[in-house]
Amino acid sequence: MLAANYDITIDRAAEYTFVLTINNQAGTAVNIGSAAFYADIRGPVTRRKAVSFTPTILDSGVNGQVSFNLTEANTLSLSPSGRYEYDIFMRRSSVTDRLLYGSVTVRGNTTKGSPIEPTV
Domain count across the chain: 1
The answer to whether position 112 is within a domain reads: no
The answer to whether position 101 is within a domain reads: yes
The whole-model pTM stands at 0.87
Which residue segment(s) compose the domain that 74 sits in? 4-107
Q: How many CB atoms lie within 10 A of CB 5?
A: 9
Q: How many CB atoms lie within 10 A of CB 41?
A: 23
Whole-angstrom CA distances from 109 to 3, 10, 16, 48, 60 are 31, 11, 14, 24, 36
80/94 Cα distance (integer angstroms): 37
| CATH number of the CATH domain containing 69 | 2.60.40.10
Q: What is the pLDDT of residues 9-54, one digit of tens each?
A: 999 989 999 999 999 999 999 999 999 999 999 998 888 999 999 9
The answer to whether position 120 is within a domain reads: no
